[in-house]
């Protein structure tokens, strides 16, 4: 394992203090927790927006803290969901009396810990609502199983719910627009190289020199198939087509596009992927309202990328364009 770290078991703590010191006027660390909040939390007359999960997905989730987006992020160990008490402390840290809305990626651990924290908070009279993001079309959608994973599309939910909250909406209104976003966002990813959890010391999986895995999850969960690596155009096509099979888009529909890097893939390659994705959408007569290319939801140093499409209506467009102070999702 080759990493620029100190103690592998202290990476999350070290990262937290490095983050706070990078933005001491924007961020605040709740002592004795793994919770980071807006410096000005709790924000009065505003629903508190909370997200989080295992670490290793930076800039998710702490990079999305700021006016217009998240009020707090609760960080778990690398790829492990934060425990109930941490989430509970995060809820208390951002509740100003208007209630707290939590955005959860659909992994059993995350869902259970956030749900229990919610119950503890509600037992104290704090209003809590939530949405579970499940945008990964690589997993089949089923209510009998764990169901789809939450990946890069989650960032759009942060942005839109965050804007709604910033506009002073109620917990119910935020839940409504967050659910609309989840219903309209789809993603799929692929990897050409693995990643190593610091505490584990060994790569989570291995790919041959010629192999890629299509449909992989952001923790290295199995995808749809392993095969020989192809061209950027073919990769972009496969990811986009799979998404389009799942979300029927018709001519003149408007979408936001996110080409997300998983960690080790250069921006150059993400732009090359974007070229093809835009071409495919154009040929379908789908209008691209905004495009985001960069690292938004990573998997440590995994090599690969994901494509996300968010179908937009006027409300979602307005909220997507709403100003945000989040360090990794600034909108003027």
Partner 1 sequence: MNFDVNDAKEWLKKANEKIADNKQLLTKLDQVIGDGDHGINMARGFNEAAQTVNEKEYDNVSDVFKDIAMTIMSKVGGAAGPLYGTAFLRLSFSLKGKDSIDYKDLVKGLSDGLTGIKQRGRSKVGEKTLVDVWEPVINEMSETIEAQPPQIKDTAKTAMEKTKEIMATKGRAAYFKEKSIGHIDPGSMSSYYLFLALAEVLEGRQS
Catalytic residues: 57, 219
Of the two residues 79 and 329, which places its CB atom closer to ligand ADP in the complex?
Answer: 79
Phi, psi of 302 (to 5 degrees): -65, 140
Q: Report the distance separating Cα 281 and Cα 288, nearest Å.
A: 8
Asked if 84 is part of the footprint of partner 1 (rule: CB under 8 A), the reply reads yes
Joined tokens for residue 149:
């994973």
- Output the CA torsion sign for 154, 160, 163, 168: negative
Cβ pair 311, 184 in contact under 8 A:
yes
What minimum distance in Å lies between the beta carbon of 234 and a copy of itself?
Answer: 9
**With respect to ligand ADP, which residue has the nearer C-beta, 48 or 220?**
220
Which of 10, 108, 230, 231 is in the footprint of partner 1 by CB under 8 A?
A: 108
Site residues (vs ligand ADP, CB under 6 A): 81, 108-109
Which positions from 204 to 243 touch a copy of itself by CB under 8 A, shown as an x/- string?
-----xx------------------x-xxx-x--------
Round to whole Å and give the CA distance between 324 and 43: 15
The residue from 37, 55, 80, 106 that contacts Mg ion (CB under 5 A) is 80
Residue 236: half-sphere exposure toward Cβ, Cα within 13 Å: 21
Does 10 sit near partner 1 (CB under 8 A)?
Answer: no
Residue 135 beta carbon to ligand ADP: minimum distance, rounded to whole angstroms: 19
Residue number with CB closer to ligand ADP (108 or 282) = 108
- At what angle are helices 171-184 and 314-321 packed, to 10 degrees? 100
Interface with a copy of itself, residue 40, by CB under 8 A: no
d(C-alpha 159, C-alpha 165), whole Å = 10
Contact 111, 125 (CB under 8 A): no
Is residue 136 within 8 A of residue 164, CB to CB? The reply is no
Q: Is 8 in the site for partner 1 (CB under 8 A)?
A: no
For Mg ion, the binding residues (CB under 5 A) are 80
| Contact positions vs partner 1 (CB under 8 A) | 76-77, 79-86, 107-109, 112-113, 115-116, 139, 144-146, 149, 197, 199-200, 204, 217, 219-222
């Amino acid at each position: 394992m080759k990493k620029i770290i100190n103690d592998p078991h202290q990476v999350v703590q070290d990262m937290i203090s490095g983050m706070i010191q990078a933005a001491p006027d924007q961020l605040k660390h709740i002592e004795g927790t793994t919770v980071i909040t807006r410096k000005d939390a709790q924000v009065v007359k505003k629903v508190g927006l909370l997200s989080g999960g295992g670490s290793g997905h930076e800039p998710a989730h702490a990079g999305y803290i700021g006016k217009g987006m998240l009020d707090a992020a609760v960080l778990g160990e690398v790829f492990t969901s934060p425990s109930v008490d941490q989430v509970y402390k995060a809820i208390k840290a951002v509740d100003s009396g208007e209630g707290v809305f939590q955005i959860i990626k659909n992994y059993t651990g995350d869902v259970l810990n956030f749900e229990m924290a919610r119950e503890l908070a509600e037992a104290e009279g704090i209003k809590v609502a939530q949405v579970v993001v499940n945008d990964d079309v690589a997993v089949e959608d089923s209510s009998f199983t764990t169901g789809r994973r939450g990946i890069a599309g989650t960032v759009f939910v942060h942005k839109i719910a965050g804007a709604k909250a910033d506009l002073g909406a109620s917990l119910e209104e935020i839940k409504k627009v967050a659910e609309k976003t989840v219903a309209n966002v789809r993603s799929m990813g692929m990897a050409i190289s693995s990643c190593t959890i610091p505490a584990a010391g060994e790569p989570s999986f291995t790919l041959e020199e010629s192999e890629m895995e299509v449909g992989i999850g952001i923790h290295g969960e199995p995808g749809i198939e392993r095969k020989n690596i192809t061209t950027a155009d073919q990769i972009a096509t496969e990811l986009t087509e799979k998404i389009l099979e799942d979300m029927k888009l018709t001519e003149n529909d408007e979408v936001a596009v996110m080409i997300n890097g998983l960690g080790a893939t250069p921006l150059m390659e993400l732009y090359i992927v974007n070229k093809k994705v835009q071409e495919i959408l154009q040929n379908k007569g789908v209008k691209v309202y905004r495009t985001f290319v960069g690292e938004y939801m990573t998997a440590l140093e995994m090599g690969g990328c994901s494509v996300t499409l968010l179908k937009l209506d006027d409300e979602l467009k307005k909220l997507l364009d709403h100003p945000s102070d989040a360090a990794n999702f600034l909108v003027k």
